[in-house]
Amino acid sequence: MKVLIVEDERQLSEALAALLRQDLHEADAVYSGTQGEDCAMTGIYDAIILDVMLPGKNGVDVLRSLRRQGNSTPVLLLTAKSGTEDKIRGLDSGADDYLTKPFASGELLARLRAITRRGAEYIGNEIAAGNTVLNKDTHELRGEKGAVKLAAKEYHVMDMLLSNCRQIVPKERFVEKIWGFDSEAEYNSIEVYVSFVRKKLAAIGSNLQIKSVRGVGYALEVPECSRD
Ligand code: CA
Protein backbone atom coordinates (compact mmCIF):
# COMPACT_ATOMS: atom_id res chain seq x y z
CA MET A 1 0.00 0.00 0.00
CA LYS A 2 0.92 3.65 -0.33
CA VAL A 3 1.45 5.44 2.97
CA LEU A 4 1.83 9.14 3.75
CA ILE A 5 4.06 9.96 6.72
CA VAL A 6 3.43 13.35 8.35
CA GLU A 7 6.12 13.71 11.02
CA ASP A 8 8.51 16.61 11.58
CA GLU A 9 11.16 14.62 13.47
CA ARG A 10 13.38 13.73 10.52
CA GLN A 11 15.02 10.74 12.17
CA LEU A 12 11.73 9.16 13.09
CA SER A 13 10.27 9.96 9.68
CA GLU A 14 13.20 8.29 7.93
CA ALA A 15 13.00 5.27 10.21
CA LEU A 16 9.27 4.95 9.47
CA ALA A 17 9.82 5.23 5.71
CA ALA A 18 12.56 2.58 5.85
CA LEU A 19 10.36 0.28 7.90
CA LEU A 20 7.45 0.61 5.47
CA ARG A 21 9.63 0.04 2.42
CA GLN A 22 11.14 -3.02 4.06
CA ASP A 23 7.57 -4.29 4.47
CA LEU A 24 7.11 -3.64 0.71
CA HIS A 25 4.97 -0.53 0.99
CA GLU A 26 5.45 2.81 -0.74
CA ALA A 27 6.09 5.73 1.58
CA ASP A 28 6.06 9.51 1.07
CA ALA A 29 7.16 11.85 3.83
CA VAL A 30 6.21 15.46 4.57
CA TYR A 31 7.20 17.49 7.58
CA SER A 32 4.42 19.93 8.45
CA GLY A 33 0.69 19.80 9.08
CA THR A 34 -0.20 22.01 6.13
CA GLN A 35 1.89 19.93 3.71
CA GLY A 36 0.36 16.82 5.20
CA GLU A 37 -3.16 18.05 4.61
CA ASP A 38 -2.41 19.04 1.00
CA CYS A 39 -0.88 15.64 0.22
CA ALA A 40 -3.62 13.70 2.01
CA MET A 41 -6.30 15.55 0.05
CA THR A 42 -4.91 14.17 -3.23
CA GLY A 43 -6.60 10.94 -2.13
CA ILE A 44 -3.84 8.70 -3.48
CA TYR A 45 -2.88 7.20 -0.11
CA ASP A 46 -4.15 3.99 1.47
CA ALA A 47 -3.16 5.13 4.95
CA ILE A 48 -1.70 8.14 6.74
CA ILE A 49 0.65 8.12 9.72
CA LEU A 50 0.02 11.48 11.36
CA ASP A 51 1.98 12.99 14.22
CA VAL A 52 0.04 15.21 16.65
CA MET A 53 2.80 17.75 17.42
CA LEU A 54 3.58 19.36 14.08
CA PRO A 55 4.66 22.80 12.88
CA GLY A 56 2.12 24.77 10.85
CA LYS A 57 -1.01 22.93 11.87
CA ASN A 58 -1.19 20.20 14.51
CA GLY A 59 -2.17 16.65 13.65
CA VAL A 60 -5.59 16.76 15.28
CA ASP A 61 -6.53 19.92 13.34
CA VAL A 62 -5.27 18.36 10.11
CA LEU A 63 -7.36 15.27 10.79
CA ARG A 64 -10.48 17.29 11.59
CA SER A 65 -10.06 19.28 8.42
CA LEU A 66 -9.58 16.11 6.32
CA ARG A 67 -12.71 14.47 7.71
CA ARG A 68 -14.70 17.69 7.26
CA GLN A 69 -13.69 17.71 3.60
CA GLY A 70 -14.88 14.13 3.21
CA ASN A 71 -11.46 12.47 3.15
CA SER A 72 -11.82 9.06 4.83
CA THR A 73 -8.31 7.66 4.37
CA PRO A 74 -7.45 5.56 7.46
CA VAL A 75 -5.30 7.59 9.87
CA LEU A 76 -2.93 6.26 12.52
CA LEU A 77 -2.22 9.08 14.95
CA LEU A 78 1.16 9.29 16.67
CA THR A 79 0.99 10.82 20.09
CA ALA A 80 3.87 11.69 22.36
CA LYS A 81 1.69 11.89 25.41
CA SER A 82 0.20 8.83 27.02
CA GLY A 83 -2.64 11.01 28.35
CA THR A 84 -6.11 9.67 27.70
CA GLU A 85 -7.31 13.19 26.82
CA ASP A 86 -5.09 13.36 23.73
CA LYS A 87 -6.20 9.94 22.50
CA ILE A 88 -9.88 10.71 22.91
CA ARG A 89 -9.49 14.05 21.13
CA GLY A 90 -7.76 12.25 18.27
CA LEU A 91 -10.30 9.46 18.02
CA ASP A 92 -13.17 11.93 18.21
CA SER A 93 -11.60 13.86 15.36
CA GLY A 94 -11.72 10.81 13.15
CA ALA A 95 -8.50 8.89 13.79
CA ASP A 96 -8.80 5.14 13.18
CA ASP A 97 -6.24 4.31 15.84
CA TYR A 98 -3.38 5.87 17.73
CA LEU A 99 0.08 4.84 18.82
CA THR A 100 1.99 6.39 21.72
CA LYS A 101 5.66 7.13 21.19
CA PRO A 102 7.96 5.33 21.58
CA PHE A 103 6.54 2.26 19.88
CA ALA A 104 7.84 -1.03 18.51
CA SER A 105 8.05 -1.26 14.70
CA GLY A 106 6.09 -4.51 14.71
CA GLU A 107 3.24 -2.81 16.49
CA LEU A 108 3.13 0.05 14.00
CA LEU A 109 2.89 -2.37 11.08
CA ALA A 110 0.20 -4.39 12.83
CA ARG A 111 -1.88 -1.27 13.54
CA LEU A 112 -1.53 -0.14 9.93
CA ARG A 113 -2.71 -3.52 8.70
CA ALA A 114 -5.65 -3.38 11.08
CA ILE A 115 -6.90 0.07 10.04
CA THR A 116 -6.62 -0.66 6.33
CA ARG A 117 -8.39 -4.01 6.45
CA ARG A 118 -11.92 -4.11 5.20
CA GLY A 119 -14.50 -3.50 7.90
CA ALA A 120 -18.07 -4.64 8.10
CA GLU A 121 -20.23 -5.14 5.01
CA TYR A 122 -23.67 -3.68 4.46
CA ILE A 123 -26.18 -5.87 2.68
CA GLY A 124 -29.56 -4.15 2.47
CA ASN A 125 -30.81 -3.60 6.01
CA GLU A 126 -28.17 -5.90 7.46
CA ILE A 127 -24.60 -5.28 8.53
CA ALA A 128 -22.21 -8.21 8.68
CA ALA A 129 -18.73 -8.95 9.99
CA GLY A 130 -17.05 -12.27 10.64
CA ASN A 131 -19.77 -14.95 10.91
CA THR A 132 -22.24 -12.50 12.43
CA VAL A 133 -25.10 -10.44 10.98
CA LEU A 134 -27.11 -7.64 12.60
CA ASN A 135 -30.51 -6.77 11.18
CA LYS A 136 -31.14 -3.04 11.50
CA ASP A 137 -34.94 -3.35 11.34
CA THR A 138 -35.61 -6.29 13.63
CA HIS A 139 -32.49 -5.80 15.84
CA GLU A 140 -31.83 -9.50 15.45
CA LEU A 141 -28.23 -10.66 15.84
CA ARG A 142 -27.42 -13.87 13.99
CA GLY A 143 -24.45 -16.17 14.38
CA GLU A 144 -23.46 -19.72 13.56
CA LYS A 145 -25.41 -21.27 16.43
CA GLY A 146 -28.55 -19.18 16.34
CA ALA A 147 -30.06 -15.74 16.67
CA VAL A 148 -31.09 -13.38 19.47
CA LYS A 149 -33.00 -10.14 19.56
CA LEU A 150 -31.09 -7.22 21.03
CA ALA A 151 -32.71 -4.73 23.39
CA ALA A 152 -32.60 -1.10 22.19
CA LYS A 153 -29.42 -0.05 23.99
CA GLU A 154 -27.64 -3.31 23.18
CA TYR A 155 -28.55 -2.77 19.56
CA HIS A 156 -26.99 0.71 19.54
CA VAL A 157 -23.81 -0.66 21.12
CA MET A 158 -23.53 -3.45 18.53
CA ASP A 159 -24.44 -1.18 15.62
CA MET A 160 -21.81 1.40 16.57
CA LEU A 161 -19.15 -1.27 16.97
CA LEU A 162 -20.00 -2.86 13.62
CA SER A 163 -20.16 0.50 11.84
CA ASN A 164 -16.70 1.30 13.19
CA CYS A 165 -15.37 -2.21 12.78
CA ARG A 166 -11.84 -2.72 14.14
CA GLN A 167 -11.70 0.88 15.28
CA ILE A 168 -11.79 2.13 18.81
CA VAL A 169 -15.13 3.71 19.70
CA PRO A 170 -14.69 6.05 22.70
CA LYS A 171 -17.13 5.59 25.60
CA GLU A 172 -18.21 9.21 25.16
CA ARG A 173 -19.55 8.42 21.73
CA PHE A 174 -21.69 5.55 23.01
CA VAL A 175 -23.08 7.74 25.75
CA GLU A 176 -23.89 10.57 23.33
CA LYS A 177 -25.55 8.22 20.88
CA ILE A 178 -27.59 6.23 23.40
CA TRP A 179 -28.52 8.84 25.98
CA GLY A 180 -28.08 11.92 23.82
CA PHE A 181 -25.97 13.76 26.36
CA ASP A 182 -22.63 13.45 28.07
CA SER A 183 -23.21 12.16 31.56
CA GLU A 184 -20.60 10.70 33.87
CA ALA A 185 -23.21 8.42 35.43
CA GLU A 186 -23.82 6.61 32.15
CA TYR A 187 -20.21 5.55 31.68
CA ASN A 188 -20.65 2.53 33.92
CA SER A 189 -23.89 1.64 32.17
CA ILE A 190 -21.98 1.29 28.90
CA GLU A 191 -19.88 -1.43 30.50
CA VAL A 192 -23.05 -3.23 31.54
CA TYR A 193 -24.54 -3.14 28.04
CA VAL A 194 -21.25 -4.23 26.49
CA SER A 195 -21.21 -7.22 28.83
CA PHE A 196 -24.79 -8.11 27.80
CA VAL A 197 -23.81 -7.94 24.14
CA ARG A 198 -20.72 -10.07 24.79
CA LYS A 199 -22.88 -12.77 26.37
CA LYS A 200 -25.26 -12.72 23.41
CA LEU A 201 -22.37 -12.92 20.95
CA ALA A 202 -21.08 -15.98 22.78
CA ALA A 203 -24.55 -17.54 22.89
CA ILE A 204 -25.03 -17.36 19.11
CA GLY A 205 -21.53 -18.72 18.39
CA SER A 206 -20.23 -15.43 16.99
CA ASN A 207 -16.53 -15.16 16.20
CA LEU A 208 -16.57 -11.41 16.94
CA GLN A 209 -15.03 -10.11 20.13
CA ILE A 210 -15.49 -6.80 21.88
CA LYS A 211 -12.11 -5.65 23.10
CA SER A 212 -11.88 -3.13 25.97
CA VAL A 213 -9.38 -0.35 25.46
CA ARG A 214 -8.63 0.70 29.01
CA GLY A 215 -9.81 4.19 29.85
CA VAL A 216 -10.81 4.93 26.25
CA GLY A 217 -13.54 2.70 24.83
CA TYR A 218 -14.23 -0.49 22.91
CA ALA A 219 -13.31 -2.02 19.58
CA LEU A 220 -14.81 -4.90 17.65
CA GLU A 221 -12.30 -7.56 16.71
CA VAL A 222 -13.00 -9.62 13.62
CA PRO A 223 -10.97 -12.73 12.79
CA GLU A 224 -9.05 -12.39 9.52
CA CYS A 225 -10.36 -13.90 6.29
CA SER A 226 -13.51 -15.04 8.03
CA ARG A 227 -15.73 -14.01 5.13
CA ASP A 228 -13.54 -15.27 2.29
CA1 CA B 1 6.40 16.04 16.05
CA 185 to chain centre: 25
Measured in Å, residue 10 CA sits from the centre of ligand 1 at 9
Provide the residue-wise pLDDT of the chain in tens; the chain has 228 residues: 889 999 999 999 999 999 999 988 899 999 999 999 999 998 888 899 999 999 999 999 999 999 888 788 899 999 876 667 778 888 888 898 999 999 999 999 999 988 887 667 777 788 889 999 999 999 999 999 999 999 999 999 999 999 888 778 888 888 888 887 666 667 788 999 999 999 999 999 999 999 998 888 999 988 864 333
pTM above 0.85, yes or no: no
Name the CATH topology of 2-120: Rossmann fold (3.40.50)
- What spacing in Å lies between the alpha carbon of 12 and ligand 1's midpoint? 9
CA of 71 to the centre of ligand 1 (A): 22
Question: What is the b/e burial string over 152-176, where b = at least 16 CB atoms within 10 angstroms of the residue's CB?
Answer: ebbbbbbbbbbbbbbbbbbbbbbbe
Does the domain formed by 126-227 have CATH 1.10.10.10? yes
CA of 100 from ligand 1 middle (Å) equals 12
Residue 52 CA to ligand 1 center (angstroms) comes to: 6
Find out whether 55 and 34 touch, Cβ atoms under 8 Å: no
Q: Residues of CATH 3.40.50.2300 domain(s) within the chain?
A: 2-120
User: Could you give the residue range(s) of every CATH 1.10.10.10 domain in the chain?
Assistant: 126-227
